Structure 1
Amino acid sequence: MQNAQPPALLAYGFRPFFLLTGVYAVVVILGWMGFLFGGWPLPLGWSPFKWHSHEMLYGLVSAAIAGFLLTAVTNWTGAPPLRGRRLLLLVLLWLSGRVFMWLASWIPAWLVALVDLAFLPVLALYLLRVLVQHNNRRNLVLVAVLTLLFIGNLLMHLGFASGRTGLLNTGEQLGFDLILLLMAVIGGRIIPAFSANWLRMHGGSPDWVARPVWIEGIALISIALLIPLDALGAPEKMTGLVVLIAALGNGLRLWHWAGWRVRKEPLLWILHLAYAWIVLGLMLRALAMLTGFLPDSVWQHTLGVGAIGTLLLGVMTRVAVGHTGRPLKLIPFGLWIYLAITAAALLRLLVAAQVIDFRLGLFLAALAWVLAFGLFVALYWPILSGPRADGRPG
């Protein structure tokens, strides 16, 4: 019985966590719209806007991070995947955090914090054990990032418990910075590699995709520098200058990846588009900090809806087919997922910039977001919950 195969949904980390990412993306936005405009008496307990940012950064994104890293660490090390009962326990730990956060005003704050904070350390310790056992020290930086994400989450809980807005803001910004760094690191690994492989298989030259070392260094180091600068409250102009360097460095990085050469493959151009949202978000943040011309909500939602939302869906739609023995092609009607998340990002950016009516624009942006992630769940549920197409385990 010990060698019995678990249900397909629990055979690999990406399966349950990607589905939960899609479902929670719908639930959290529907709940937020109901709270804002429908008068739903959600027992949040927190400052509503900080609760919203917490659940997007430390709730929604943490599930997607878990799904990706649990899958990637197996590829990096050759270790067997986390599956079955142990994977189920990790899933239930994440779900418990979400339930407690939604019922925060009915539960003691210390208990809410204890349950919600448990997920990231458990995930980090599992990754640490696997990476050390298989002597894969290159990727230990990701364990450090998860540890810092835990600290950011802790700061938000401490801010709520103590009423100190500064702690809430620091925890929120730390989450943004760390997720941005993760996207830059992971995007820098998969986007040029996938693009070069596709070009090789379709008569192009993989050398069209370039990764100059000096550009890679500027792009990643400048983003990494934002973490201590924001955490320590460095002068705004200094931080703004680093953000500008990050925007320019990552723009050059994206240009060298030659995304226009893979424009015929949706599974690839969506990843390049997601990285373009990162560049735009950094540029808008630099503009906000150096000129005071834009409110922070503009760059925050450009990164949150544009970069994070698009990259999540781009990665999940590719991994879902690639790791279940299916051809690396977007499934029928999948293009609507990409169109909907792009519409959501554009609309939310226009709302934050006060170009269109707030209520109407926010409603349309939320509708497009729910359509994008709802379609993902509906279209990919059979793939993620069913057996591999090639009959292999996993």
Structure 2
Amino acid sequence: MLSATTTIPAPFRYPFRIFFLSTAFSAVLLIPLWLFFLLGGGTLQPALPALHWHQHEMLGAFVNSAIAGFLLTAVCAWTGTRPVAGWPLAALWLLWLAGGGAMLFGSYPWLAMAVDLAFLPAVALLAARPIVAKRQWRQLPLLAVLTLLWLCDLGYHLSGDTQWLRAAMLLTGGLILVVGGRITPAFSRNWLLQQGQPTADISTWRWLEVLTLASTLLLVLTEASGQVPAGLVAVVALVAGLSAGLRTLLWRGWRVRREPLLAILHIGLLWVAAGFLLRSLAGFGLVTDAVWLHALGAGAMGTMILGVMARVALGHTGRPLALPSGITLAFGLIFLAGLLRVIAGLGWLPWAFGIHAASLCWTVAFALFIWRYFPILTRPRIDGKPG
């Protein structure tokens, strides 16, 4: 008997399909648009000041789309429930699209704010229904992070103060630590076992988990408050960065270096640790905020999102976990994009060359994803199952 989803166009059969495509397309469009605005922008100007628009949309358009695709797909696997699909999924996607359009072209600030702020609560409600129905209480921290991200967005819209966007960047780093902590050591162990290798040295220390996540949450709160002395914020960031780095190193990423789908996850987590450590240096006045923001943005967010999308799209369409040609290059380019942007921020490269080179690497990386994954995400599963 045919599944009901077979009558739905493939991109709207599962949340990861349309939202992973949207994430990649937004990545390809947002950075060139930012450079366009940075270099003058002609008569086209976004609804927000150009720098604010860049910071906001890397979260609101790029990250939020990836969150929706991953979370609403993962919830189905965790709870054994049917995915959001068809018209409800299309409506959610159109809401995301309207939010991005409002931020780019909106002439009515309050309307743009309302549309932009509607998306994350919609995602959270759709994710909460199966979680509550199946009493999967261990998933509630993810919904709490979504709520905090929404509050950061609200704080920015009401105040216009970018401290809220900075807090959201740090919180996104925390979300990467939570999700990465669930999948990275487990996937690494499974792969090593398949290779006939021991896994006893891949360890997780409970106290370190608590310290990492608690210090990250405290860092977010101190950043959002704007009232904590810079030196104290720097100390909190130092603790968060060191604990996040040690936590990742305990998972022995070098042992899975021959498998790009796993290595990229470890690299993404190390970028988070680097971002927090650079935030500490910024608190001590040793680097500018642009350095740690781009370590988390171009580095951690770009790397982890690309890596997770590449893996999830294969597994959930019935394909073996073997990268399509060109995606290993995309992984290398996204790492280089983060590295170049951080180095340029440190003044070790000419600024104009650094941002243009980093932007090119970022754009080509996600363009390669679109090229290789568009057929995968827009066609039915190869095994004939729903998904």
Per the normalisation by structure 1, the TM-score is 0.95
Range with greater deviation from structure 2 (91-100 or 45-54): 45-54
Flag the 1:100–1:264 CA change in 2: closer, same or farther, 3 A: same
What residue number does 1:93 align with?
95
Q: 1:322-351 deviations in whole A, cap 9, x for unaligned? A: 111111111111111111111111111111
Q: Sequence identity, in percent?
A: 45
Of the candidates 176, 180, 184, which is equivalent to residue 187 of structure 1? 180
For 2:10, the aligned partner's letter is A
For 1:351, the aligned partner's letter is A
**Counterpart Cα distance in 1 of 2:224 and 2:348:** 32
**Counterpart Cα distance in 2 of 1:177 and 1:366:** 22
After TM superposition, give the deviation of residue 355 of structure 1 in Å.
1.2
What residue number does 2:358 align with?
365
After TM superposition, give the deviation of residue 7 of structure 1 in Å.
1.5
Of the candidates 45, 48, 51, which is equivalent to residue 46 of structure 1? 48
Of the candidates 245, 250, 254, which is equivalent to residue 256 of structure 1? 250
SS in 2 for 1:331: coil
**Counterpart Cα distance in 1 of 2:340 and 2:306:** 18
What residue number does 2:72 align with?
70
**Counterpart Cα distance in 2 of 1:178 and 1:34:** 28
After TM superposition, give the deviation of residue 42 of structure 1 in Å.
2.4
Alignment of 1:244-283 (within 5 A): 244-283=238-277
After TM superposition, give the deviation of residue 25 of structure 1 in Å.
0.5
Let me know the Cα RMSD of the aligned residues.
1.4
After TM superposition, give the deviation of residue 2 of structure 1 in Å.
9.9
Alignment of 1:199-210 (within 5 A): 199-210=192-203
Of the candidates 20, 29, 32, which is equivalent to residue 30 of structure 1? 32
Range with greater deviation from structure 2 (246-255 or 225-234): 225-234
Structure 1 regions of 5+ residues with no counterpart?
A: 161-167
Alignment of 1:350-361 (within 5 A): 350-361=343-354
SS in 2 for 1:327: coil
Alignment of 1:1-394 (within 5 A): 3=4, 5=6, 6-37=8-39, 39-104=41-106, 107-160=107-160, 168-232=161-225, 233-289=227-283, 291-394=284-387
**Counterpart Cα distance in 2 of 1:152 and 1:38:** 29
Contact 1:226/1:242 (CA < 8 Å) preserved in 2?
yes
**Counterpart Cα distance in 2 of 1:155 and 1:283:** 25
**Counterpart Cα distance in 1 of 2:60 and 2:269:** 21
Flag the 1:214–1:183 CA change in 2: closer, same or farther, 3 A: same
Q: 1:171-228 deviations in whole A, cap 9, x for unaligned? A: 2122112211110100100110100000111111222311111111111111111122
**Counterpart Cα distance in 1 of 2:3 and 2:338:** 46
Contact 1:25/1:60 (CA < 8 Å) preserved in 2?
yes
Q: 1:92-141 deviations in whole A, cap 9, x for unaligned? A: 0000001111103xx21111111111101111111122211111111111
SS in 2 for 1:178: helix
Structure 2 regions of 5+ residues with no counterpart?
A: none
After TM superposition, give the deviation of residue 244 of structure 1 in Å.
0.6
Flag the 1:181–1:4 CA change in 2: closer, same or farther, 3 A: closer
Q: 1:289-347 deviations in whole A, cap 9, x for unaligned? A: 1x311111111101110111000101000111011111111111111111111111111
For 2:297, the aligned partner's letter is G
Contact 1:215/1:253 (CA < 8 Å) preserved in 2?
yes
Contact 1:128/1:143 (CA < 8 Å) preserved in 2?
yes
Contact 2:168/2:220 (CA < 8 Å) preserved in 1?
no
**Counterpart Cα distance in 2 of 1:169 and 1:382:** 38
After TM superposition, give the deviation of residue 73 of structure 1 in Å.
0.4
SS in 1 for 2:385: coil
After TM superposition, give the deviation of residue 375 of structure 1 in Å.
0.7
